[in-house]
Structure 1
């Protein structure tokens, strides 16, 4: 029976340090004391550990660069808080790993967007790439990218989750939890403003919402669903439409905080009291959710931690991690603030 080859985790346990420290040593990264570096290399020799040849070939001759790729829509306002949180988390982990971060935006509606992403990897000689939605949901792109470099996916769909390392929250559970929060307050007339049609995480949040509604013995089809695009503008346009109906919703659930801020601005413009006459919730828990008035009830998604975990996954892959693609689920939670309350509260 063939003996199991030692892994980076074995080296970490043998040397008494974390796997991140081992990764830094193997990649000649900074911020490691000489005595720790010597101890790690002694464990490498003692265990006869060798870096995965495929991973090493990915790293060889490269620029030490990890690209963080966002989809952009030049006809809509960018979801800046979401992007900046991911960028900050990725940058922090790149500093830990002794690597450089390149942030790049690709127009998602361009006919050659896949070619643009792959050309970026090739021309910049990237060691790794972090793909964000909806790029992280495309199997063809993920397969082509993994042939060129190490890949990590932010909030990937089930169709790509087994193709590369990934990290995210349980979006279906997040949608369920925020809907249960509103249902627990007594709301039965709900509306949902979703995100981009290609963004499967937002669709999963809707699935969770409908599951929560069904759990209360209500018809999931009673929830009005309007197709947004994660922007403030879509929150404004769809909330105006919803509040102009004969029986407007008592609560509007939004796929992200930017959309919720747009919904909130319409409520203020109509002199509606939030949450007394209308409850509004978001998703992401971006800094803006605490700045607006009233502060938004939202679902906390640890964006900086997600991006950091994605970069860490790439570093482990390049350092010779033997395991196949893994998906790391980070915790979420509902942050109940002043924008949600019982319907018709005095």
Structure 2
């Protein structure tokens, strides 16, 4: 288990460090080398409002017009303003600590690209709002998983917690967190978690349908789907979207071969052979994330299977691995950093006194077409005929 508070700790593994660097672009990267430290008064002058108004916006307080709130945030970003979390904590008697809970199988390698993207998105927002961030990996299948999260909240005096799937749909856990006078925000909830706390995500069913339609348009008729861990309802909705797109195209969704992995490269590599050795193997393999797709691609290479000439492989998330493998993965982009940032803002608002009903924010997704997907051989023959 690794905890990260506000900045990268020394001694972290090289892979995680390289991923953080890949994501740490723009204002965040500039802030690392900048010695200028603007104050809250600088922000107030820049956007032309009172100092108290800036403070209210930074704390997610009420009674601020949307136009003014947007001006303040624009000035915060333009000046790269950061709150001093220690000073704010001493002044307000609050811990200013938020936690990001990431599900993982501690006996397998983690889905580090996904977790790092969320961590960096949350960290960038925390720096601007004056919060500290603690990231904790919790095994989703352990009997004491809920108690691990609750003990973290108690020991670190967390004011807010961001939950990723499948914790994002664990209503009992969410209610237990709220009973500790701690706020919860759910990233990519796919079920009851949407009603239990504030949430953010994409339309996973629509995204699954979009990638399936693209494969159908290329001429594919034999599909396989590599699902994720049980209880990850957002990934299950991607499968539902796939099935819906196939049915709309006059294809039988029940003919799709489905295998279940755990979102890791290793599981993608372990499951692919049984799909390739089926009597009628698929021409299109749609994976619930990029890491499993990369594992499938490695098996195809090892067996001399042309991708995409004989087998098209797609992923989901648009993480850095999707661009660096060969051929680069066709995938679905979901804005992971923006999702985490939105979750931090939701928590900040609740901490600041917002008592409105839970809200779910839907962010946009997009199919990113790269070289791992193409028309199957039969479709190319029909096109030439």
Q: TM-score range by the shorter chain?
A: 0.7 to 0.9
Are the structure 2 counterparts of residues 31 and 211 from structure 1 closer, same or farther at C-alpha, using a change threshold of 3 Å? farther
Retained in 1: the 8 A contact 2:104–2:111? no
Tell me the secondary structure at the aligned position of residue 33 of structure 1: helix
Identify which of structures 1 and 2 has the higher relative contact order when contacts are C-alpha pairs closer than 8 Å and 6+ apart.
1
1:60, 1:224 → 2: CA distance?
56
Whether 1:158 aligns to 2:169 is no
Matched, 1:340 2:373: yes
The question of whether the paired residues in 2 share the 8 Å contact of 1:163 and 1:325 is answered with: yes
Deviations 1:263-296 (A, max 9, x none): 1001101111110110000000001100000000
| Structure 2 match to 1:313 | 346
Give the alignment's TM-score, normalised by structure 2: 0.76
Q: Indicate if the aligned counterparts of 2:122 and 2:337 stay in contact, CA closer than 8 A.
A: yes
Q: Are the counterparts in 2 of residues 136 and 154 from structure 1 also a CA contact under 8 Å?
A: yes
Residue 111 of structure 1: aligned partner? 143
Deviation at 1:63, TM superposition (A): 1.3
Task: State the shift of 1:44 in Å.
Answer: 9.7
Q: 1:196 to 1:43 in 2, by over 3 A?
A: closer
The equivalent of 1:77 in structure 2 is: 109
Query: Between Structure 1 and Structure 2, how many residues are aligned?
Result: 309
Q: Quickly say closer, same or farther: Cα 1:60–1:33, change in 2 above 3 A.
A: closer
Could you tell me how far apart the structure 1 residues matched to 2:308 and 2:62 are?
57
1:101 corresponds to 2:112: no
- Paired with 1:140 and 1:207, the residues of 2 have a C-alpha distance of 25
Aligned in 2, Cα 1:110/1:35: closer, same or farther, shift over 3 Å? closer
SS for the counterpart of 2:313 is strand
Match of 2:94 in 1: 62
- Could you say which residue in structure 2 is the equivalent of 1:39? 50
Which residue of structure 2 lines up, in the alignment, with residue 15 of structure 1? none
CA distance in 1, matches of 2:355, 2:168: 22
Deviations 1:61-96 (A, max 9, x none): 431110111112122221000000000000000001
The structure 1 residue matched to 2:257, chosen from 224, 231, 237, is 224
Structure 2 Cα separation of the partners of residues 272 and 35 of structure 1: 58
**Alignment partner, residue 74 of structure 2:** none
Q: Quick one: structure 1 residues 135 and 35, their matched pair in 2 at CA, closer, same or farther if it must change by over 3 Å?
A: closer
Aligned mates of 2:101, 2:196 — CA distance in 1: 17
Secondary structure, in 3 states, of the residue corresponding to 2:50?
A: helix
Partner of 1:19: none
Contact 1:205 / 1:255 at 8 angstroms: preserved in 2? yes
Identify which of 285, 291, 296 aligns with 1:252.
285
Moved more, 280-289 or 68-77: 68-77
Provide the residue aligned with 2:11 in structure 1.
Answer: none
Q: Distance in 2 between matches of 1:50 and 1:263?
A: 48
* Aligned equivalent of 2:235: 202
Picking from 193, 216, 223, the partner of 1:183 is 216
Is there any run of 5+ residues in structure 1 with no aligned partner, and where?
1-29, 53-58
**Alpha-carbon contact 1:62-1:126 (below 8 Å) kept:** no
Deviations 1:144-191 (A, max 9, x none): 112221111101133111111110011101100000010000000000
Q: Which stretch of structure 1 is more off in the superposition, 312-321 or 84-93?
A: 312-321
DSSP 3-state at the match of 1:162: helix
Q: Which of the residues 142, 157, 161 maps onto 1:125?
A: 157
Deviation larger for 183-192 or 100-109 = 100-109
2:167 to 135, 146, 169: 135
Asked whether the equivalents of residues 146 and 164 of structure 1 are also in contact (C-alpha less than 8 Å), the reply is no
Listed one character per residue, the Cα deviations across residues 301-321 of structure 1 (whole Å, up to 9, x for unaligned) are 100000011001111111222
Does the Cα contact within 8 Å between 1:31 and 1:96 map onto a contact in 2? no
Q: Tell me whether 1:268 sits opposite 2:276 in the alignment.
A: no
1:232-267 CA-partner distances (Å, limit 9, x unpaired): 111112211111112110010000000000110011
